[in-house]
Chains A and B, each alone.
Chain A
Amino acid sequence: MTATISDTGTVAVANAEKGKRLRTAGKLWQAGGPLVIFIAMFAVVAILTPAFIGSGGITIVAASAAPILLVALGQAFVLNIGSIDLSNAAITVLGAILLAMLLGPLAFAAPIVVLAMVTLFGAVNGFLLAYTQVPSFALTLGTLGIFKAASLVVSGATTVYVSQNKDVVSPLYTTQLAGLPLTFVLGVVVAVIAYLFLRFTRAGVGMTAIGKNESGAIFSAVRTRALKIVAFALSGFMAGLAGMTIIAQAGSASAMGLGSDLLLPAIAAAIVGGTSISGGVTNPLNVILGALTIALVPIATAAIGVAAEAQNLVYGVVIIVVVALTLTRSRTAIVK
């Protein structure tokens, strides 16, 4: 009696078979796509610049992947509930500036204070989304502007250097584990925790339910408002961790400096990592591969001879191509 499968509703069945094929393609992509793309990208880099692999290049890639990975993991949480957070990369910069300023006076307490602040910033995003129902795209575009302005004001539009207590966070970058800086290891640990959270807690499954069908989740007694706030708070928290890796690496922060251009690569990393732009699908472990792939982009483009200024072009193209290839057209969800 498996005939029932072919006997679903009446609307939009003209594309049923095509949709099924695309769905299968989507499933395959979610499972193995990120790994395949990473290997392909790695192979390209290895062939173009064989010297790079042997000469500590892996360490460099892992170090530059770390902040991308952390921001991308936060973005993956938000994408998973069917929203988007355009402001989280700006939170990273603001967090980095605040940390640079507070490390001197607060020492070990500074990271804790800053992480609490950025988590609150994210939670405010989530709260506004849940209670005003402004679409996340518009909402976080607005807060993006606010956070950017705050960064400029707080830093006085100059580079803020860590005056003292630099070694509170710098070991994160200088210490290596099997050739990988601790910043990247931190990203991997966060990814593993995120993976376990999404699969083995009621809150995590509830978030995925919101992304798949919000009304269905509401009527299943999922606390949709609370979970939206949590997802955005986590996005803020992880953006803050990314800010910490930047301070660990650079020892300074500015509104225009290192990490100020993370938005596009982080979204690209989440999507290349198999996260669905329309919600309800993400695997944080694959986002690790997505972040590594994106971190290889500058090296590959440099090897081909594309100017460094054009890197965002590559990220933009990557986002469009991957989304176009993997979007299940059976469900024309609007990105919220």
Chain B
Amino acid sequence: MTKAKEATTPVLRLTDVQKSFGPVHALKSVSLEIHRGEVIGLIGENGAGKSTLLKILTGIYQPDRGTIAVNGATMKFRNPRDSASAGIGVVHQEQSLFTNLTVAENIAMNGAASKGYGTTFGFYRWGKLNKAAAQTLEIIGSRLNPKTRVGDLSFVDRQMVEIARAISVDTSKNATPLVILDEPTSLLERGETAILEREIRKLKDFGSVIFVSHRLDEIIRNCDRILVMRNGELVADRVTTSVTEDELFKLMVGHESHATKHERRARPVNETPAIEVTGLTRKGKFKNISLSLHPGRVTAIVGTSGSGREEFSRALFGAEKFDGGTIMLNGRAARGWRIPKAVKRGMGFVPAERKVEGMVGGFTAAENIVLTHPGDAAFGPFLKPWKRNKIAQQWFTTLDVRPNDISQNLERFSGGNQQKVVMAKWLNDPELRVLVLDHPLRGLDPGAAETVNEQIKAACKKGTAVILLADTLEEALEMGDDVIVMRDGIVSASYDLTVDNPSTLDLLERMV
């Protein structure tokens, strides 16, 4: 292979790739080229065909038609192993590392692609293994010790191990590794995101990157070129320097953003707060937290992962204990605080771990919606399942849940549509007074995120007080009436946004 040829042969070329599932045309002829050293942003709503495309690239699905060429050679990936040995590595948003193994072992655990990586006839050769892992880590500029147990690492360090594993493919054949980062930042805190972004830039020196994210600002910051998918097709291929976030939103969703501005409500003077917390303390987690939430206002709590804001919000909902302090709901003290009691008194909670805590997979969407607040579908302890569908159908229409099939198992909806159903579960309470939202937009595409945000605003209009643990500081400043900053378990600053106007930098300074 000559130098000149190498320069012009794309790392990856897809020609007319198609895939259907029964009658569903998930991919309708996708053709694209990715060159060495490029960082490609791939965006699209849930259901646009992004995941299908990624699964074809990683050998999980086989295309019905079309060809895949890697470094000029046509490939047929029968399984993830084939794809990995062709130099394509993936970093999933939900990490897939073995936490009880060391960094080096995890890097070597890349199936056939790492054949001979620190092993001889399948036996570990620890010296060789650790050295090879150290080399791989050096390529991506990480100074992690290969002998560290992955379980002892921070989240962002684990992500580095994932990247190392993704590129630990055989580079001896002069192949250019292609790393696919599937929403790598959705679970990271702000500081960690910056570290990861720096690493992505380093990857350009020796390989190419496909970066999948729902955060348009992030895509614009990191990518050279942006591919937009909609309804199974590539609808745009733009050089980053010539696009704006609004333009990308429109390309993805198909229409302009309908987002309305949150109408801020000034802090009322003589009004019973919806919830009033005094000196709430849990040893080692949070200390002496006092705040009062008024109906119709959003209180955004920001902080790093060790700030105690998650534990505090869970304690409010009765999901975790607290050692001291009081919670008053509508002027009445909360005693023996547990979830069923909190819910009875008009609280709701949208957990960050949607699949584990937010919903009951295996139940239909309709069953999930009426599980907690059955409304007309119950008479005392008895249920009237025939009334369930009407309630569910109303929410499906209001929230534009897709597919519009209320009796579908909730597990089978996409993340954004699941989150809409989880929201509906709480909004179905006509007496909803306090709604706690723990990272409500995590992993949501912009369309679904807009729907969820609109519902938060609608709930506020009806007099619900909202506590928001936002993904980003921008989200907190956009949605909040109050912003509370937590650091090491205490409130380090609080701003009333109807009066103050802090910048993200101000918040960041109080966070770390």
Contacts and interface: CB of A to CB of B under 8 A. Distances in A.
Interface of A: 1-11, 13-14, 16, 199-203, 205, 208-209, 212-213, 215-223, 280
Interface stretch (B124-132, B168-176, B357-365, B477-485): B357-365
A3 B25 contact: yes
A3 to B, nearest CB: 5
Nearest to B182: A10
Most buried by B among A10, A202, A220, A280: A220
Contacts of A13: 55, 60
B233 to A, nearest CB: 11
Interface stretch (B4-12, B298-306, B407-415): B407-415
Contacts of B232: 3
Contacts of A212: 360-363
Contact of B402 (A1, A199, A220, A221): A1
B297 to A, nearest CB: 24
B372 A220 contact: yes
Contact of B381 (A6, A199, A202): A202
A239 B509 CA distance: 64
B360 A209 contact: yes
A7 B362 CA distance: 17
B139 interface: no
Contacts of A220: 360, 368, 371-372, 425
Nearest to B417: A4
Contacts, number: 131
17 contacts: A3-B48, A4-B46, A4-B47, A4-B413, A6-B24, A7-B50, A13-B60, A16-B60, A200-B383, A200-B385, A202-B378, A212-B363, A216-B356, A216-B357, A216-B359, A219-B339, A280-B362
A199 B378 CA distance: 12
Most buried by B among A8, A10, A199: A10
B191 interface: no
B185 to A, nearest CB: 15
Contacts of A202: 374, 378, 381-383
Contact of B363 (A11, A16, A209): A209
B403 A8 contact: no
Most buried by B among A14, A202, A217: A202
B219 interface: no
B319 interface: yes
B51 A222 contact: no
B93 interface: yes
A166 B353 CA distance: 58
B358 A216 contact: yes
Given A1-B403, A6-B52, A213-B360, A199 B96 contact: no
A8 B414 contact: yes
Interface in B338-376: 339-340, 342-344, 349, 351, 353, 355-363, 367-368, 371-372, 374
A11 B232 CA distance: 21
A201 B96 contact: no
A88 B285 CA distance: 42
Given A6-B51, A7-B51, A213-B361, 18 more contacts: A3-B26, A4-B47, A5-B24, A7-B50, A8-B415, A10-B92, A14-B79, A205-B383, A209-B360, A212-B361, A216-B360, A216-B361, A219-B319, A219-B358, A221-B342, A221-B343, A221-B372, A280-B362
B372 to A, nearest CB: 5
B24 A3 contact: yes
A106 to B, nearest CB: 32
Contact of B357 (A203, A219, A280): A219
A6 B21 contact: yes
A151 to B, nearest CB: 36
A332 to B, nearest CB: 14
A242 to B, nearest CB: 27
Nearest to A217: B360
A220 B348 CA distance: 9
A223 B372 CA distance: 11
A10 B96 CA distance: 10
A4 B372 contact: no
B359 A4 contact: no
Contacts of B414: 4, 7-8
A308 B411 CA distance: 46
Nearest to A4: B47
Contacts of A213: 356, 359-362
The 6 closest A-B pairs by CB, nearest first: A4-B47, A221-B343, A212-B362, A216-B360, A4-B414, A219-B357
Nearest to A222: B371
A9 B357 contact: no
B13 to A, nearest CB: 24
Contacts of A205: 367, 371, 383
A219 B362 contact: no
Contacts of A6: 21, 24, 26, 51-52
B361 A203 contact: no
Given A8-B411, A221-B340, A221-B343, A3 B47 contact: yes
A199 B93 CA distance: 37
A9 to B, nearest CB: 7
Contacts of B26: 3, 6-7
B80 interface: yes
Contacts of A199: 383, 385
A16 B382 CA distance: 37
Contacts of A208: 363
Contacts of B358: 216, 219
B143 to A, nearest CB: 29
Nearest to B49: A3
Contacts of A222: 340, 371-372
Contacts of B79: 14
Contacts of A216: 356-361
Nearest to A199: B385
A261 B431 CA distance: 53
Interface in B463-499: none
Nearest to A213: B360
B51 A10 contact: yes
A216 B363 CA distance: 11
A4 B402 contact: yes
A14 B385 contact: no
A4 B403 contact: yes
B20 to A, nearest CB: 10
B94 interface: yes
Nearest to A216: B360
Contacts of A3: 21, 24-26, 47-49, 231-232
Contacts of A8: 51, 411-415
B381 A201 contact: yes
Interface string B310-322: 0000000001000
B446 to A, nearest CB: 15
Most buried by A among B340, B362, B368: B362
B482 to A, nearest CB: 25
A11 B411 CA distance: 13
A8 B60 CA distance: 14
A280 to B, nearest CB: 6
A2 B385 contact: no
Contacts of B359: 213, 216
B423 to A, nearest CB: 13
